[in-house]
Amino acid sequence: MESCTSMLQLKQIQAHMTKNALITHTFPASRVLAFCALSDSGDINHAHLLFSQLQNPNTYIWNTMIRGCSRAKTGQTGFLFFCQMVQKGVEMDCRSFVFAFKACEQFPGLLEGKSVHCAVWKMGFVCALLVQNGLVHFYCMRGCLGLARQVFDEISERDFVSWTSMIDGYSKHKWCDEAVKLFDSMLMYSDVKPNEVTMIAVLSSCSQKRDLRLGKTFHEYIKTRNVTRSLNLMNAILDMYVKCGCLDSAREIFDTMGVILMDKYV
């Protein structure tokens, strides 16, 4: 399986496994199904076919199908797999809920996501950090920032994903002041240090507010704290200076970006 790069090769491997009665064994079947569902060279329809032939798929296989459906932009089907897990009493883990929330992001409303949230409570996963982070991200994606913040405030030990998801959610929905306030709280009350993703979110807030003073403060923070200056981060700094009307600084950043590109590709 390690050398498999196409569905043609996968089907040859699967035929060999079927001939030797290995395809009914959970581990080899899960490897084949994961390639179909998650690989760029895979085929989600073939994953469905293989799944239908399995007698007792385990949690990993169910999770793979939910995740694969989301990846294939068929989140509705992924959500149905989650519902089947609930109905059949299949044992779940944190990833079951995280992948279900990703599937629910493809629905236009909140109903499906809230039903997964209810299942989180019923099955005792409400304090699991991975699930809490998934909830924050889902509610932020849907623009329900009040619900997202409620979940965020209930997290006892927030990690980088918790802080960044909430800050980014505020920024994307133009709650710029809240994004900056939460970033300040992260620096003051948390041991978690912001990285380039966090900085992109707060710089976006500065761009929207046209707040050059604050934008310069964050730029200085990036330089003094040695935050990795990726091309995406440099674009965010450039955008901030342009939107704040500071074109000389924008040009300096633009000239610096050429060096970053050379370092990346040389």
Residue 266 pLDDT > 60, yes or no?
no
pLDDT grade for 173, boundaries at 50, 70 and 90: very high
Q: Name the DSSP class of 236.
A: H
Task: Share the mean pLDDT of the chain.
Answer: 92
pLDDT, tens digit, 9 for 90 and up, residues 190-217: 999 999 999 999 999 999 999 999 999 9
Residue 31 pLDDT > 80, yes or no?
yes
CATH 1.10.760 fits 158-266, yes or no: no
**Once rounded to an integer, what is the mean pLDDT over residues 210-229?**
93
Q: What is the pTM of this model?
A: 0.88
Rounded Cα distance, 151 and 139, in Å? 9
Contact present, 10 and 4 (Cβ < 8 Å) = yes
Which pLDDT belongs to residue 2?
65
Which pLDDT belongs to residue 261?
57
Task: Give the residue among 227, 170, 168 at the shortest CA–CA distance from 196.
Answer: 227
